[in-house]
């Protein structure tokens, strides 16, 4: 199934992340899914900013 609307995609991704947390996935592991380390600092992946907001 293909989701065309960004808001639907964002909602589903948010629900998936919430499911990970509820299942006991450690918060740092979830954070690592949408951040990257650059020069020793964590930065948000630009394409995932809407999901994180």
Whether 32 is in a domain gets the answer: yes
What is residue 12's predicted lDDT score, i.e. its pLDDT? Answer: 87
Show the domain range for 33.
26-53
Whether 7 is in a domain gets the answer: no
What is residue 39's predicted lDDT score, i.e. its pLDDT? Answer: 94
- pTM for the whole thing? 0.67
Region class of 44: left (phi > 0), else alpha (psi between -120 and 50), else beta? beta
- B/e letters for 9-42, b = 16+ CB within 10 Å, e = fewer, are ebeebeeebeeeeeeeeeeeeeeeebbeeeeeee
Whether 5 is in a domain gets the answer: no
Neighbours of 44 (CB within 10 A): 14
The three-state secondary structure class of 23 is coil
Whether 3 is in a domain gets the answer: no
What is residue 2's predicted lDDT score, i.e. its pLDDT? Answer: 59
Whether 19 is in a domain gets the answer: no
Whether 4 is in a domain gets the answer: no
Q: What is the C-alpha separation between 33 and 45, in angstroms, rounded? A: 9
What is residue 44's predicted lDDT score, i.e. its pLDDT? Answer: 87
Could you tell me the mean pLDDT of each successive run of 10 residues in the chain, 53 residues long?
69 90 95 90 83 69
- Based on the structure, what is the number of domains in the chain? 1
């Amino acid at each position: 199934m293909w989701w065309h609307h960004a808001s639907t995609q964002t909602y589903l991704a948010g629900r998936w992340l919430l499911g990970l947390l509820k299942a006991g996935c450690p918060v740092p592991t979830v954070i690592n899914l949408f951040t990257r380390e650059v020069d020793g600092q964590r930065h948000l992946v630009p394409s995932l900013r809407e999901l994180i907001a």
